[in-house]
Amino acid sequence: MSTRVTRQGYGSKIGDSLKGVVFGFFAIIASIGLLWFNESNSVKEIRKIAEGKKNTVTVDSKVYTQANEGVLVHMSGTAETDDLLMDDEFRFELNAIKFEKVVEMYQYKENKKTETKDNVGGSTTTTETFTYEEVWSETLISSDGFDESWRSNPKDFDYKAASYQAKNVDLGVYKLSSGLIAQIGGAEDFNVTEEIYPTDDNYGLISGGKIYFGAGSKNPEIGDERISFQVTYPHEISIVSQQQGESFVPYVAKNGRTIELVYDGIKTSEEMFASEASKNSIMTWVLRLVGFLLMFAGFAAILKPISTVGSVIPLLGNVLQAGIGIIAGLIAFIISFVVIAVAWIVFRPILGICLLLIAGAAFYFGKKHFGSDEEVKPETPEQVKEEDGEKS
More confident residue, 219 or 388: 219
Is the predicted pLDDT of residue 351 greater than 80, yes or no? no
| Chain segment 303-321, per-residue pLDDT in tens | 877 766 656 566 766 777 7
Query: Of 58-67, 253-262, 293-302, which gets the smallest average pLDDT?
Result: 293-302
Q: Per-domain residue ranges for the chain?
A: 2-48+282-370, 55-267
More confident residue, 275 or 301: 275
End-to-end CA distance of the chain: 92
Is the predicted pLDDT of residue 9 greater than 50, yes or no? yes
User: What pLDDT band is residue 381 in, cutting at 50, 70 and 90?
Assistant: low
Is the predicted pLDDT of residue 283 greater than 70, yes or no? yes
More confident residue, 390 or 146: 146
pLDDT (mean) for 232-241: 96
pLDDT (mean) for 365-372: 60
Per DSSP, the residues of 177-235 read -HHHHHH----EEE---TTTS---TTS-EEETTEEEESS-SSS--TT-EEEEEEEE-SE
Instruction: Report which secondary-structure segment, H or E, holds 49.
Output: helix 10-55
Query: Of 62-66, 106-110, 175-179, 304-308, which gets the smallest average pLDDT?
Result: 304-308
Which pLDDT does position 101 carry in this prediction?
A: 94
Is the predicted pLDDT of residue 390 greater than 60, yes or no? no
pLDDT (mean) for 182-199: 88
| Chain segment 161-190, per-residue pLDDT in tens | 999 999 999 999 999 999 999 999 999 999
Which pLDDT does position 385 carry in this prediction?
A: 55
pLDDT (mean) for 108-135: 84
pLDDT (mean) for 263-276: 95
